[in-house]
A and B are shown apart, each in its own frame.
Chain A
Amino acid sequence: MDALANNFQVLFQGLALGSIYALVALGFVLIIRATNVVNFAQGDFAMLGAYMMVAFLVGVGLPYWLSFLLALVGMGVFGLIFNYGVYYPLRHRGFLPVIISTLGASIFLQNTVLAIFGAQPKRLDNVIAGGVQIGSVFLDSQYLVILAVTMVMVAFQFFFFEHTMLGKKLQATSQDKDMARLLGIPVALMIAITFVYSSALGGLAGVLVGPVLFVSIGMGSIIALKAFAATIIGGFGDVKGAIVGGLFIGVIESFAAFYISVPYKDAYAFLMLFLVLIFRPQGFFGERVSEKA
């Protein structure tokens, strides 16, 4: 009975952290689909979002929901700047220069935030205080919120891309830029929108996870690596894959830490990644790596 409770607790923690990976992974995937490049600053979007929240909520003293909204809007604007500063000038130059450029952006962001906010980690309070106690299992309210918001975002994602005009245009852009251009879709604008959305999504992940991990400069880096592993495990560039991959990594590392070894916790995600790449390189949902012609 006790073992069951423990397992449930471990599963819950894993799912909750996994949701955060999934949210960040979703941002990854959208940008990958739109631009074919990996944004190594995606984790820092989460970090920046969390700091914006701190600035509005604690610094300025605005109410929670207003701060939340402003942080998301702020991240959207930031996504636009990021698009034109980091991606746009390099859009014709293959994936390597863009990857490096986003790595540079990551270093820049972390150290700029450090210079502004200082090194001391900041505290954010849970959206709803407390949590739910079931026997010896405790479900932290913030983790429940994270799970709920992730589900809502996933649902929104599907609705948005399948059932709205803008979503369909974005889809078309990600599938075939030349064709989209011929159809009169403003491709550059669509990519800019993708960055805005993806940045806001990253910011949302940061705001949500802030109360759990606290808000610190390095909070985004390790999340981003796991999220990236999730995108590959799930199937490179696949939306479903990113979500399932994120949850999968969260759960695996939670259980492995509990049953095998805590200090190696961060290694499990990467180990899974190796295994997936060796035995199923296309990931869970990806298409077979196509033969080149």
Chain B
Amino acid sequence: MRVSIWSALSAGAFASLFALSAAADTIRIGLVSEITGPNAEAGSYTINGARLAVEQINKKGGILGKQVELVIEDNQSTNPGTVLAFSKLGGNKDIPAIIGPIRSTQVQAASPTIQKAGVPVMIGGTDPSLTHVSNPWVFRCRPNDTFSSRVIGDFGVTKLKLKKWAIVHSTDAFGSGGQKALTEALKGLGVEPVLIQGYTNNSQDFTPVVLAIKKSGADVIGTYMTNSQDVGIFAKQLRQLGVTATWIGSPSIVTDTAMKLAGDALYDTYGIADFNPDANAEAKSYAVAYRAKYNVEPDVYSSWAFDAMNVIAQAINSAKSDKADDIRKAVLGLKNWKGVEGNYNFDANGDGLRGYNIVKNEGGKVKFVDHISFDK
């Protein structure tokens, strides 16, 4: 009995350590995402998006004539988990490119590992610094927060003519980065926020935050909130306590989860979204396919991964090579490539997008309002 457990364990261990075998007739693309842990929900959408892309690519004949296979590695929603996941996938020579996480803090954690591995990685984290640390292998398939904060500020101050700003942000990397960028952007528009209030993720009660907003007399709230669940609780309490200020939020405000949880508390709020099903033709056909396959509304967690997978396929196909360097050059060479999130033009840093959609929650439906782009 004991012997069998031992041999099974050690055999398993060695299999996992040394026998990373692969079938030669497929091309394997890595995906580091959240399967377990508090962010597993978003992770499942990311996997959905990537899987849909793979399915479509394979239907069209695959990459370089080979069928595509996703190799998914769990990062347990943690930074160390992400580092390990990258070192596992990055060390596998059969994997020419990886789709990375959407959380900035995780990308930041894994950046040195990515650099060491020398594999092109598509990321969804929007902290501007991620692509500015001279790591040539990181490519962003979403607009970064300098754009999101400029869009939020510009829309609120110029279009809606609101000047008394309260900023509510999660204290994590994404939230504090966004808060800084938004404060900067507002300063550029001549506005000093009346309140800047942080909170930790997974807070159970936002009453103190809401009361602080009430006290500040703000007429517009800009938020950088990480978790949809927090958006839901905050929205309910905000409206219950009678705060009617306009709310312009970061993308989590228009996620399917946040809207389901908060219901009417989120009506008439604005959000910025890099993805909107009505923004362009690609987005429209993607939305149809996604709904058909998964029976849920597509949101940004899936759309960026869909684009990321397609960018990889496009790059390898046009480079006619799955060598890291060739892929990198091909990605940088993409010009005006049409994805569901907009038109990709990768700059030298690896940033692919520079625009955002402004959307409005009208009775639980996300309505496209405007697209603001800073492409030169």
- In the complex, A touching B (Cβ < 8 A): yes
Contact A13 B240 (CB under 8 A): no
* Inter-subunit contact A214/B229 (CB<8 Å): yes
Whether B241 and A138, one on each chain, are in contact in the complex, defined by CB atoms closer than 8 angstroms, is: yes
Interface flag for A168 (CB, 8 Å): no
Q: Within the complex, which residue of A9, A17, A111 is in contact with B204, where a contact is CB–CB below 8 Å?
A: A17
A207 to B257, CA, bound (A): 20
Is the pair B205, A111 in contact by a Cβ cutoff of 8 Å? Answer: no
Task: Please judge, given known A-B contacts A213-B233, A216-B229, whether A121 and B261 are in contact too, CB under 8 Å.
Answer: yes
Q: Which of B4-12, B146-154, B192-200 forms contacts with chain A?
A: B192-200
The verdict on B171 contacting chain A, using a C-beta distance below 8 Å, is yes
Q: Name the contact of A138 in the complex, choosing from B38, B242, B260 (C-beta under 8 A).
A: B242
What would 27 A/B residue contacts be, using CB atoms closer than 8 Å? A6-B211, A9-B211, A9-B241, A10-B208, A13-B207, A17-B204, A114-B36, A118-B41, A118-B44, A119-B42, A119-B44, A120-B257, A121-B232, A121-B261, A123-B260, A138-B241, A213-B204, A214-B229, A214-B261, A217-B40, A218-B38, A257-B205, A258-B211, A258-B212, A263-B200, A265-B203, A265-B205
Best-surrounded residue of B36, B43, B197 (most CB of chain A within 10 A): B36
B79 to chain A, nearest CB (A): 17
A258 touches B198 (CB 8 A): no
Q: Which of B172-222 contact A (CB under 8 A)?
A: 197-200, 202-205, 207-209, 211-212, 214-215
A218 surroundings in chain B (CB, below 8 A): 38, 202
Q: Does A136 sit within 8 A of B, measured CB to CB?
A: yes
Instruction: List, in ascending order, chain B residues with CB within 8 A of A44's CB.
Output: none
Task: Tell me the interface secondary structure of chain B in the complex.
Answer: helix
Distance between Cα atoms of A33 and B281 in the complex (Å): 65
Q: Using Cβ atoms and an 8 Å threshold, which residues of chain A touch B233?
A: 212-214
Per-position binary interface string of chain B over residues 60-77, scored 1 when its CB falls under 8 Å from any chain A CB and 0 otherwise: 000000000000000000
- Number of CB contacts from chain A to chain B under 8 A: 88
CA distance A152 to B289 in the complex (A): 52
Taking a contact as CB atoms closer than 8 A, the residue among A213, A214, A262 that contacts B197 in the complex is A262
**What 1/0 flags go to A240-271 for Cβ under 8 Å of B?**
00000000000000100110001101100000
Q: Give bound CA distance, A212 to B204, whole Å.
A: 8
Number of chain A interface residues as a range: 20 to 34
Contacts of B208 in A (CB 8 A): 10, 254, 257-258, 262, 265
Does A119 contact B41, Cβ atoms closer than 8 Å? yes
Residue B131 interfacial (CB < 8 Å):
no
Please tell me if B228 contacts chain A, counting CB pairs below 8 Å.
Answer: yes
Q: Which of A120, A213, A258 has the most CB of B within 10 A?
A: A120
Indicate which residue in B171, B202, B232 contacts A222 across the interface (CB closer than 8 Å): B202
CA distance A265 to B289 in the complex (A): 43
Listed residue (A111, A121, A212, A218) with the most chain B CB atoms within 10 angstroms of its CB = A121
A131 at the interface (CB under 8 A from B): yes
Q: Given A9-B241, A120-B257, A123-B263, list of 20 further CB < 8 A pairs? A: A9-B207, A10-B211, A119-B40, A120-B44, A121-B41, A121-B229, A121-B232, A123-B232, A136-B242, A138-B242, A212-B204, A217-B38, A218-B202, A257-B207, A258-B211, A262-B199, A262-B212, A263-B198, A263-B199, A265-B199
Query: Per-position contact with B for A117-143: 1 when CB-CB < 8 Å, else 0?
Result: 011110100000001000010101000
Kindly state the separation between the CA atoms of A138 and B214 in the bound complex, as whole angstroms.
13
Which A residues, 90 to 116, have Cβ-Cβ distances below 8 Å to chain B?
A: 111, 114
